[in-house]
Amino acid sequence: MATRLRAIVPKYSAYMRHRRTMEVREAIAAKRTVNEKPRVSPATPSFMTGQHVEGPVVRDFLYMVGDLVQITKPGGDYGKISRITSIHKDRSALSIEQVGPIQTSIVPRVYWSEQHSTYVARYPGLVHHNDVRLVTALADADGEFRKVAVNELVLGEKYYDDRYKKRLRRRYVANSPGIAIPWPDPAEEIMSGNFATDYDVARDRTFFVTSLAVPPVPPGALDSLRNKYARHRKPDLTEEEIQRLTPPEMPLSATKTAFRKELQEMKEMKKQAIESGELAATRLKTAQFLKLRISQHQQHQEALKNKKQEEEASG
C-alpha cells in the first residue's frame, strides 16, 4: 500500500502544479491591457508574427462573412463600404475586401506559393471589430427599402438557423428591439453530417411524465435494460456487508452513563407531572412563594430606611 501511495503522490503533485500554472496564465491573460502587443521572440520572422490590431477584446461578434460594412475609423479609408471576407476572433478583427491598410512583409523562398515570384508580399490588413458599422437595407415609412448604416447592434435570444445548421443569436438595432437584422447567407451551403438528426425530429417530443409516483420504465422492462445476472448486482446484503455498514457503538464512562440516566429520569418525571396536572399547581405555589418573599424584602428595606432617618434626626 505504501509503495502504491508513493507512486500516486508524484503524479498528483505534478497535476496540481500544472493546474496552478494554467490558472496563473489565465489570470495574466485576463489582466493584459487592451493595447498590449503579444510578446514575440525577436528571432521570429515578421511574416510569422501576424498583424496586431489595436482595440479592446471583443467577446460577441456582431458581424459575419458576407456582411456589408462601412469604415468608421478616421483615415484614408473612412466612409468606404465593402464586404467582410474573413473574421479573426483571436484578434477581434475583420478582413474587408479592398479596404483597409496594406501590409508589406518579406517572405522567404521556402514559403512562396505557386504564383509567387518575389520576396516582398503585400496583403490586406485587418480592421478592428469596433471600427466598422453595418450597412443594410431597411424599409422606410413608405415601404421602400433603402440602405442605411446601423451605428450599434445588440444580440438577442437564440434560434436555430437552418442555413448555418446551428443555433445563433438574433441581432437587433440598439434601442429598437423590433427591428431585426438577419445574418447574411453563408458563402457555401452547409450540409448536415451523416450522423446529424433533422431539426424537426430532434425537437419532437414523444414522452411526457404523468406522475412522479409512476416510474417511466415499466417494471417488466427493467430486465431487458439491465443485466440481472451481473456479478455487481446484489439484491440483498450479506452479514459481512451489514457489519461494515453499521457504525460501532462508542463505550461510555460510568459518569456519562449515570448523567444520561439522570436526564432520562428527569424527563420522565416532568412528563408525568404534566400528564397528572401537578406541574400547574407547583408553578402556582412557586409564584405565591416568590411574591411573599418579595413583599417581605420590601418591608425590611423600608424599616431599615426609616430607622436610619430617625438616627440621623436624633444625632
pLDDT class of 48 with cuts at 50, 70, 90: low
For residue 29, pLDDT over 50 is answered with: yes
Count other Cβ atoms within 10 Å, centred on residue 273: 14
Q: Does domain 46-151 have CATH number 2.30.30?
A: yes
Lowest-confidence pick of 35-39, 52-56, 173-177: 35-39
Q: What is the mean pLDDT of the chain?
A: 79
pLDDT class of 35 with cuts at 50, 70, 90: very low
What's the rounded Cα separation, in Å, for the pair 309 and 315?
Answer: 10
Q: Where are the beta strands (DSSP E) in 89-201?
A: 93-96, 102-106, 120-124, 127-128, 132-139, 145-150, 153-161, 166-173, 176-181
96 contacts 83 by C-beta, under 8 angstroms = yes
For residue 280, pLDDT over 90 is answered with: no
pTM of the model: 0.48
Question: Which pLDDT does position 133 carry in this prediction?
Answer: 93
What is the phi/psi pair of residue 9, to 5°? Answer: -60, -45
**Mean pLDDT, to the nearest integer, of 73-93?**
88
Q: Which residue has the higher pLDDT, 10 or 204?
A: 204
For residue 59, pLDDT over 70 is answered with: yes
Q: Which residue has the higher pLDDT, 270 or 11?
A: 270
Residue 133 is placed in which grid cell?
458599422
Output the DSSP codes for 174-215.
TTEEEEEEPPPPPSSPPPPPTT---HHHHH--------SSS-
What is the phi/psi pair of residue 228, to 5°? Answer: -75, -10
Buried b (16+ CB within 10 A) or exposed e, 168-192: eebbbbeeeeeeebebbeeeeeeee
In which region does residue 92 sit, left (phi positive, over 0), alpha (psi from -120 to 50) or beta (all else)? left
**Mean pLDDT, to the nearest integer, of 52-68?**
85
In which region does residue 281 sit, left (phi positive, over 0), alpha (psi from -120 to 50) or beta (all else)? alpha
Question: Which pLDDT does position 37 carry in this prediction?
Answer: 52
For residue 315, the number of C-alpha atoms closer than 13 Å in the C-beta half-sphere is 6
In the chain, pLDDT over 90 holds for what percent of residues? 14
For residue 12, pLDDT over 60 is answered with: no
Long-range pairs, 185-191, Cβ under 8 A, ≥24: 185/66, 186/65, 186/66, 187/65, 187/66, 189/163, 190/163, 190/164, 190/165, 191/165
77 contacts 129 by C-beta, under 8 angstroms = no
What is the phi/psi pair of residue 259, to 5°? Answer: -65, -45
Sign of CA dihedral 37, 41, 43, 48: negative
Question: Which pLDDT does position 169 carry in this prediction?
Answer: 93
Question: Which pLDDT does position 153 carry in this prediction?
Answer: 92
What's the rounded Cα separation, in Å, for the pair 57 and 52?
Answer: 12
For residue 67, pLDDT over 90 is answered with: yes
> CA separation (Å) from 139 to 99, 142, 143, 170?
28, 8, 5, 19
- How far the first Cα of the chain sits from its last, in Å, is 95
**Mean pLDDT, to the nearest integer, of 135-148?**
84
Question: Which pLDDT does position 272 carry in this prediction?
Answer: 76
For residue 6, pLDDT over 60 is answered with: no
**Mean pLDDT, to the nearest integer, of 94-101?**
83
Question: Which pLDDT does position 64 carry in this prediction?
Answer: 92
Q: Which tens digit of pLDDT belongs to each residue from 187-206?
A: 887 777 777 777 778 778 77
Whole-angstrom Cα Rg for the chain: 42
Calculate the CA 107 to chain-centre distance: 44
E strand or H helix at 83: strand 81-88
**Mean pLDDT, to the nearest integer, of 171-185?**
89
In the chain, pLDDT over 70 holds for what percent of residues? 84
